[in-house]
Structure 1
Amino acid sequence: MTLVIYWNLDLKYLYIGEVFEGVSGGFNGVILASYAYTADNTPPKNSRTIGIALIDFTTYLAAAASQVITGYFIKDLGYLYPSITTTSLMLLSLILVVVLLPETINKDRRSQYPSPVKAVKTVFGFYFSKDFGQRRSLFWLSLTAYFITYFSMNGVFFMEYLFQLNLPFCWGPELIGYFNMALYLSRQMLGIPVIKLLHLCTSDPEICIITSVILSVSFVLNGVANTDVMIFLSVLPNGIAAPLLPALRAIMSRMAPPEMQGSLFAGIGLVNIISLVTGTTVFNEMYNATVKMLRGFAFFACAGCQLLSAVTMVVFLYTSRRRIVTDTSTVGINDNV
């Protein structure tokens, strides 16, 4: 991208960069590795939820800073220097990983890597293999809730720019930057405290249900907004709902064996990519088709997705509790024998 900007090349050359990003996994590859690394270094208790949440909220903090800076950066200096800055930061990140982070997989374990075909089967084994027994239904339910949530959040993310640029708001890059900064900072500042507070009286599945409902309220507020203040009011419930995705990832992480964390997060990374592609397309088309009829319709649809995710987690909670009761009964019979 930097070279295309510097030499003012045809924009078709950007496809080359997209290919490199796709092969390397891009942002989803970095996040996947970060989740797996965190799972390798934290115990399988609530602390894993905190560890995974810290990655998300660190991302939110960085995004908050970059959003407000980039708006002014582009306005005053054009596109070249922001692109150079981004490239430099990526190189710095690479150096920090190589120099500072210790390896969590020893050489003996590396020599036992499975074939690509077996590795792919392992990624999907949580949902199809009989080895997981009744847990397969729990994996399916949690993955369904995760896909619905990520699908709608990704879809509305890009569509929100169109919403803010359009009438009656007509926002410029600075105001969009301030809004995104407020959004990411609210997630950063409220996410961890909300998890800690809710863990005092609820479990991770219950946190998912509560935050899904709160997030749907945030999208409804955005959908009915007709002033700048009303859009900014949606920031608070969005921040309170920040633990939703980390809690879902932590639930799946605790159900998977320690040696299969990488496979689990590889599957989650694939869901991230699928939901990003489909969500962006669906919600952009939905916005274009309904903007003249009902400007906030896509946000209402997104709120409905969050409620559907909450219902899915209610089923998950009921199924998991019934499974615990069944497992306890089975143990009792065996003991008597």
Structure 2
Amino acid sequence: MQILFVEPAICLSAFAMSLAAPLTTQYVYRRIWEETGNYSIAPDSNISECAKNKSSPIFAFQEEVQKKVSLFNLQMDMSGLIPGLVSTFILLSHSDRRGRKFPLVLSSVGVLVTSVWLCLLSYFAFPYQLLIASTFIGALCGNSTTFLGASFAYIVDQCKEQKQRTIRIAVIDFLLGIVTGLTALSSGYFIRELGFVWSFLMIAVALTVNLLYILFFLDDSMKQSSSQNVSISCTEGFKNLFYQTYMLFKNASGEQRSLLCLLIFTMITYFFVIIGISPIFILYELNSPLCWDEVLIGYGSALGSISFLSSFLGIWLFSYCMEDIHMTFIGIFTTMVGMAMTAFARTTLMMFLVRLPFLFTVVPLSVLRSMMTKVVRPTEQGTLFACIAFLETLGGVTAVSTFNGIYSATVAWHKGFVFLLSAVLLLIPAISLCAVKCISRNAGSHVLLVQEEPSEDTSDR
């Protein structure tokens, strides 16, 4: 039986990835803590013997551990940059002709191999530096960006009505929020009750089920024609991929091309800040004066995931009374407020309260994706998402590496500096969005961005 619902695969993948991220960070933190000095960690204790007193000898030690974890995360992310960029661009561009199922399968295989290696590494206590090699190998098959890009293209293939795309993409972000929120809420208990080995094993089982679902139950949203099955050389294939990207911008009119470039720039700069700062939250919460344990970290991550639900509700309600671009402004400015508040959060209560301004953080990502799909042809959706995923992979790895480096350099004198910097950097997508508003108003082409396209021929003019 073949079905056309990619949502179960998205939910299973989201469960695995949202559980793997905090587990991996805390596992590396624990290993570096134990290998850096003579301080051991009891299985039922906090993730670190966090010291709040600056005169304590452990205080300087934990600052050193924070730096080492940040730098190791930097090395691990950089190892997957180049293979991730190449595989993401090739797989998603190729999906316009060969279908969306192949990138879903290959990226699932990559994360499954990585999760199995994490399980073996934690069980046999192999050197944690080997995570760098597993990240490189996993990125060769694609990554989470590849999987989500193929999933969004899969959904766009089924949504012919433009307004339906915005809601459908928002629904996917909503499902991602529900799954990641529940997973984050329970992640601390997984570590405390099961330990790292069994937790990593659960992730591998979930990814195995996901791969079986995609292989044997999920039908492809695109039907290949016989002319698409002609074999071509590798060199010719690369030329075709770059030609498709070139034609994506060439086929658009001058106004549409400008809008598309600005929309991509707006989304990537916003994505750069949001993705780059995400892993810093855990390190910030592990450090003094908060000194959170794994359960509190899970609670905090779960509260952060509520933004997926609130963003979906915001898009659903705001779509009746305002344009897409105004919803994006709301999301950017509320996120700026949240970043500024986090920089000065020094108590557990305050750290929980700073999640409130982040309620609409996901709105710009969902709305901007939908806005971009309305500027290109239906047959160019895969190429569009390939460009987006390529830039997201490049921007994501660069962002995580940059923010980890900044946090490592500034944690000793101002732990919240990186959050203040994030708030300032969010002015860039806000200014870019103002340019989108001005150009679309002057060109009279804003209808393409907030309403249904009059006809598919519009993109040809």
TM-score normalised by the chain length of structure 1:
0.89
- Aligned partner of residue 134 in structure 1, secondary structure: helix
- Aligned partner of residue 219 in structure 2, secondary structure: coil
- Aligned partner of residue 103 in structure 1, secondary structure: coil
The structure 2 residue matched to 1:267, chosen from 357, 381, 387, is: 387
| 1:180 equivalent in alignment to 2:304 | no
| Counterpart residue number, 1:102 | 219
Letter in 1 for 2:224: K
Letter in 2 for 1:37: Y
- Aligned partner of residue 289 in structure 2, secondary structure: coil
In structure 2, distance between residues paired with 1:296 and 1:160: 10
The structure 1 residue matched to 2:128, chosen from 11, 15, 27, is: 11
The structure 1 residue matched to 2:278, chosen from 123, 148, 157, is: 157
- Aligned partner of residue 107 in structure 1, secondary structure: coil
C-alpha contact (below 8 Å) 1:2/1:83 kept by paired residues: yes
| Counterpart residue number, 1:48 | 165
Q: Aligned pair in 2 of structure 1 residues 191, 100: CA closer, same or farther (>3 Å)?
A: farther
| Counterpart residue number, 1:111 | 229
| Unaligned residue ranges in structure 2 (runs of 5+) | 1-117, 448-461
Q: Aligned pair in 2 of structure 1 residues 25, 190: CA closer, same or farther (>3 Å)?
A: same
1:41-68 Cα shifts (integer Å, max 9, x gaps): 1134222112112222222222222223
Q: Aligned pair in 2 of structure 1 residues 13, 285: CA closer, same or farther (>3 Å)?
A: closer
The structure 1 residue matched to 2:343, chosen from 202, 209, 223, is: 223
1:310-335 Cα shifts (integer Å, max 9, x gaps): 221111011112222699xxxxxxxx
C-alpha contact (below 8 Å) 1:207/1:244 kept by paired residues: yes
1:185-213 Cα shifts (integer Å, max 9, x gaps): x2232122100111112111221112111
Letter in 2 for 1:249: R
In structure 1, distance between residues paired with 2:223 and 2:312: 32
In structure 2, distance between residues paired with 1:247 and 1:121: 27
C-alpha contact (below 8 Å) 2:330/2:360 kept by paired residues: no
Letter in 1 for 2:223: N
C-alpha contact (below 8 Å) 1:182/1:235 kept by paired residues: yes
In structure 1, distance between residues paired with 2:230 and 2:164: 29
Cα deviation for residue 132 of structure 1 reads 4.1
The structure 1 residue matched to 2:175, chosen from 48, 53, 58, is: 58
- Aligned partner of residue 256 in structure 1, secondary structure: coil
1:115-138 Cα shifts (integer Å, max 9, x gaps): 2222123235445x3654332211
In structure 1, distance between residues paired with 2:208 and 2:278: 27
1:291-325 Cα shifts (integer Å, max 9, x gaps): 34333221111112222212211110111122226
Cα deviation for residue 246 of structure 1 reads 0.5
Worse-matched range after superposition: 304-313 or 165-174 = 304-313
In structure 1, distance between residues paired with 2:347 and 2:443: 49
1:193-240 Cα shifts (integer Å, max 9, x gaps): 100111112111221112111111111111121211111112122123
Letter in 2 for 1:211: G
In structure 1, distance between residues paired with 2:127 and 2:389: 31
Q: Aligned pair in 2 of structure 1 residues 131, 140: CA closer, same or farther (>3 Å)?
A: closer
In structure 1, distance between residues paired with 2:194 and 2:161: 47
C-alpha contact (below 8 Å) 1:60/1:188 kept by paired residues: yes
Cα deviation for residue 260 of structure 1 reads 0.5
C-alpha contact (below 8 Å) 1:4/1:10 kept by paired residues: yes
In structure 1, distance between residues paired with 2:197 and 2:445: 61
Identity %: 25
Q: Aligned pair in 2 of structure 1 residues 73, 262: CA closer, same or farther (>3 Å)?
A: same
In structure 2, distance between residues paired with 1:19 and 1:282: 19
| Counterpart residue number, 2:358 | 238
Cα deviation for residue 5 of structure 1 reads 2.6
Q: Aligned pair in 2 of structure 1 residues 130, 104: CA closer, same or farther (>3 Å)?
A: closer
| 1:74 equivalent in alignment to 2:191 | yes
| Counterpart residue number, 2:70 | none
Letter in 1 for 2:400: T
| Unaligned residue ranges in structure 1 (runs of 5+) | 328-337
The structure 2 residue matched to 1:31, chosen from 136, 148, 156, is: 148
| 1:170 equivalent in alignment to 2:170 | no
C-alpha contact (below 8 Å) 1:124/1:267 kept by paired residues: no
Worse-matched range after superposition: 165-174 or 39-48 = 39-48
C-alpha contact (below 8 Å) 1:123/1:263 kept by paired residues: yes
Worse-matched range after superposition: 7-16 or 152-161 = 7-16
| Counterpart residue number, 2:95 | none
Letter in 1 for 2:229: S
